[in-house]
Amino acid sequence: MARQSTSKPSARGPAIRTAEHAQPQDKTAPQRAEKGQQNPPAIAFPSDATQMAIASGNTNSDGASETEMPPDCTPCAPRPIGVPPTPLAQFQRFLAPQPTSKAQPSPTGGLVGQDTADRALHAAQARLTGGISPISIASAAFNWTLQLANAPGRQLGLAHQALENGLRLSNYSYRRLMQMPAAAPFAPRSGDRRFNDPAWQALPFDIIAQSHFALEDWWRSATTNIRGLRPHHSDQVSFLAQQMLDFVAPCNFPWSNPRILRAAMSSGGRSLALGARNLVEDISRRINREPSPALAAFKVGEQVATSKGDVVFRNDLIELIQYAPTTKKVHPEPILIIPAWIMKFYILDLSPENSLVNFLVSRGHTVFMVSWKNPSTDDRNLSLDDYRRLGVMAALDTVSRIVPEQRIHATGYCLGGTILAIAAAAMARSGDRRLASLNLLAAQTDFADAGAMMRFIDDSQLAFLEDLMWDQGYLDTRQMAGALDTLDTSNGRAARMAERYWMGTQEHWTDLRAWVEDRTRMPYRMHAEYLSSLFLENRLSAGRFAVEGRPVALGDIDAPIFAVGTEKDQLAPWYSVYKINLLAHTDITFLLTNRGHNTGIVAAEDAGRHYRINTKSPDDSYIDAQSWLSANAPQAGSWWKPWQEWLADHSGDMVLPPKQGATEKGLPPLDPAPGHYVLMP
């Protein structure tokens, strides 16, 4: 098990042992944990030494350094350069995540120095572009231009559509100006609420809005269904065109937005002055890197993350919180929650009335929560497997020691659900049956349809992002914020900016909005492996994701699964989350709730909430996502209630609550919740 520390966390990260130190899987981890011994790491990814050997050309034909042992293999004599790789080595190369770019040796020597200069340049460029690769964007635009230039029939069709749209708009404008009845020829795209105000139906603003809708209609035709254009490039070009149109939308400018003009006239121009003040304050805050006002309004441990409990375990990557019971008796099986490390854990423990932790504890569940360390430059070499070992498995081992002889309801949210599914598959492969259930909240296990993020994931983009992380050791919170803001729709970011800077309105901060501002960082090695192995290569669903040198299969999991998707999720689309029904062969309950990735999961209140739910047994035939949607009618209320009832049905009779920690086993309570890691800037 990972090292237990009773001192406060140090500034430095863990000493990472690379693949050349990896050992075969040890099935005696629980017995070692009882004795306070540490689990040996077993990382299946290429070591830094291997990568340097590749860069310098000092490798054998297998891509490994001449003196390095293959991961998870017994010692063997070095293989001479030029000898064909063994079948075992070929298979390990097939399983190992492939670097997105390799420096190839030149006739005059290695390219280590030149490669470093290139990566430094790319890192500097990435700081200016928010981490978005201009080469990737230019490649998509160039491909679209060439394909369209070579399609005269499509060009003729677009010219005809432009003429037709112009005539329809002219006819509508004439009839409106003549005060004759006229039906609007164009409509805003689905879900666009920017033009809902009745003032947009009055002259001249209705004509202005219709002009914008006509332009959107033409560009939508120009950037979709281009014969010969790669779907990825088509998606990128369509997205960029829509971003451009959203930027120039009439609702963003005071002279063409009736709401802004109305507010300015009614306030005597004061709204414009207040908006200018808001703009200056926001620019000053960004330049000085001051925290958001939301963080002052909702302080961790005071207004949010207030559930009572104790930190009962700490290593160099996680703190494990055990929440105090609020009922006389509890279900014997504890719940272990693994949140995503891209977020602070307290999205699941917001204000008391909005806290999933409080909801579960008040209904007789013993809840444990992982709180991830916010990594720094010193943690650049943390790997994806370290998050499994030092995170998921260390937490499971600790829970098993505090609540012995009880199976665990393991629950993962977003990336936490993905790494939990990987860990569960590895546990099932080795015969570890400690899981009472596997609960995946907006968590993907197949990344073929991974949502809006796929617009930015290709080899060029990944190499560009890797160079940025290589330079600074992590992906910065502001850089992640830029990428996520780019995914935001026009109804969100642009509308908020127009109201704040043109109408002078103040932000209405909520606990969830404050949490959004409290971002984290992603270590270089882990994030590169995550994007390449899962997003780009989709290794987990293909049976090619290796844990401790051997591939894992989600089909090995025999614990019942409860999976939750959200209807408006852009980061983990519900139809992608639904694919767990294809990959696992156990009882699977799938629940679909309304709203988005975060607002759908945080669902304390019943008002405005609905969900659909159905259970599939291993003997049932698979049905596709759209058929499932049609076959299951929505039910009113929060999804928390049916999930809690499902957990209770898969738990034993109520018993007395366990003690906080296990002092006699070397696990005394260290600090009160929410701990120290969540407070790291």
Tokens 């999933």 correspond to 356
- Pick the closest to residue 606 from 575, 642, 648, 633 (CA basis): 642
> Does residue 414 carry a catalytic annotation?
yes
Q: Which two tokens stand for residue 605?
A: 């209140």
In Å, what is the CA distance from 647 to each residue of 135, 343, 566, 652?
48, 25, 20, 10
DSSP 470-501: HHHSEE-HHHHHHHHHHHS-TTTHHHHHHHHH
Distance CA 615, CA 609 (A): 20
Buried b (16+ CB within 10 A) or exposed e, 574-588: bbbbbbbbebbbbbb
SS3 210: helix
Instruction: Choose, from 73, 76, 251, 414, the residue flagged as catalytic.
Output: 414
DSSP letter for each residue of 305-372: S---EEEEEE-SSEEEEEEPP-SSSB-SS-EEEE--TTS-GGGGS-SGGG-HHHHHHTTT--EEEEEE
Three-state DSSP class for 394? helix
Q: Taking each helix axis from N to C terminus, what angle separates 112-129 and 48-56, rounded to the nearest 10 degrees?
A: 110
Closest CA to 652 of 347, 293, 415, 407: 407
Strand (E) or helix (H) holding 566:
strand 561-566
CA distances to 319, 412, 548 from 652, in Å: 28, 22, 34
Task: Tell me the H-state helices in 548-676.
Answer: 574-577, 580-583, 625-631, 640-649
Q: Residue 106, Cβ neighbours under 10 Å: how many? A: 10
Which single residue is written with the structure tokens 């291997």?
50
Residue 590, SS3 per DSSP: strand
Q: Which residues contact 218 (CB under 8 A, 6 or more apart)?
A: 158, 161, 162, 165
Residue positions annotated with a catalytic role? 414
